[in-house]
Structure 1
Amino acid sequence: MAAKDVLGARGEDLAADHLISAGLEIVDRNWRCSQGELDIVARDREEIVFVEVKTRSSVLFGHPFESITATKVARLRRLAAAWCDAHEGTAAAIRIDAVAVIVPSRGVAEIEHLKRVS
């Protein structure tokens, strides 16, 4: 596994732990379809939450949230619709969130949760 993949997997694990500690229930992880992949699908009370996780080792090349463009949000909306189609009857309401994880080579990881990015 490439170092980038290891960092990404670590970030997703930290993001999932953060979401659980915030009271969300993880419903699905790394769900794939022909259109792409959703990092985390969670439930927050009556909402199904589609979470994009962006992990970096530093902010030297920008904050992780900076990589979430309008094109990326549109793709996440399509993926959310595909997930809902595949899991009929599970979503009364949906939202799209993002979690930024910065994992320095030394020290403690920083996690930011941005709700309703779209």
Structure 2
Amino acid sequence: MHHFLKANGTFIFSIEHPVFTAEGSQDFIYDEDGNIISFPVDHYFDSGKRTVHFLGQDMTKYHRTITQYFESLRQNGFRVDQLKEPTPGEEMQDIPGMRDEFRRPMMLIFSATNIK
């Protein structure tokens, strides 16, 4: 992206949050009654390929830590201006299951400026 942006150009992108991609199952852990107990985070610092079942099919995703994203931007001529972990808006709180989205971050948004 650095080569496609003019000096001081802005690069904004979103990714699945690394907490969400770390363990691989991308699902909560439930008790015997179907209640959510927790969200698994395991092998967070082991970056690389993850095979997950998503929308009815197996697919390959790649996990990296927040530090790896941040440092990759810096090492490639960007200044990180903002980092956001968005949550559902208040207007969405009545949608079934939406309150559970506050139990773990699902997305991560970066805004960076091309400084070289």
**Normalization by structure 2: what TM-score?**
0.30
Which structure has the greater CA radius of gyration?
2
Where relative contact order (Cα < 8 A, 6+ residues apart) is larger, the structure is 2
